[in-house]
Amino acid sequence: MKKRVISALLAVGLFSATAQALTLDEARTQGRVGETLSGYVAPISQDKETLALVERINKARTESYQQLADRNNIAVDDVARMAGQKLVERAKPGDYVQGINGKWLKKQ
């Protein structure tokens, strides 16, 4: 019985951590991350949760960019830059984007 309770608590704890994980939209809205012209999201806030999110998102983007590059016989960096341009253009008002000079700008 005691093992079942402990297992259940662990399962609930793991589920809660997953359910409470920061999403990209939340991070954008909170000003914790911003889009860059390189095609990758970058942290504005340096807390552990934000950095983990950035790593996870950029890893997924790299894989996606590589697949597109392979299918179209172009360099992955070119795919990333094209995506970055679109992501910066499509950013919502209030989201942060990194300018050519590397400074963060709040999209109007």
What pLDDT sits at residue 20?
Answer: 57
What pLDDT does 67 receive? 97
**What gap in Å lies between CA 88 and CA 68, rounded to an integer?**
19
Q: What per-residue confidence (pLDDT) applies to 1?
A: 45
Cα distances (Å, whole numbers) of residue 31 to 15, 43, 74, 100? 26, 9, 33, 19
DSSP 36: -
- Residue 59: is its pLDDT beyond 60? yes
**Does the pLDDT of residue 18 top 90, yes or no?**
no
Query: Mean pLDDT, to the nearest integer, of 3-14?
Result: 41
Cα–Cα dist 28/97, whole Å:
10
Q: Taking residues 32-59, report their average pLDDT.
A: 97
Domain ranges of the chain: 24-106
Q: What is the pLDDT of residues 88-100, one digit of tens each?
A: 999 999 999 999 8
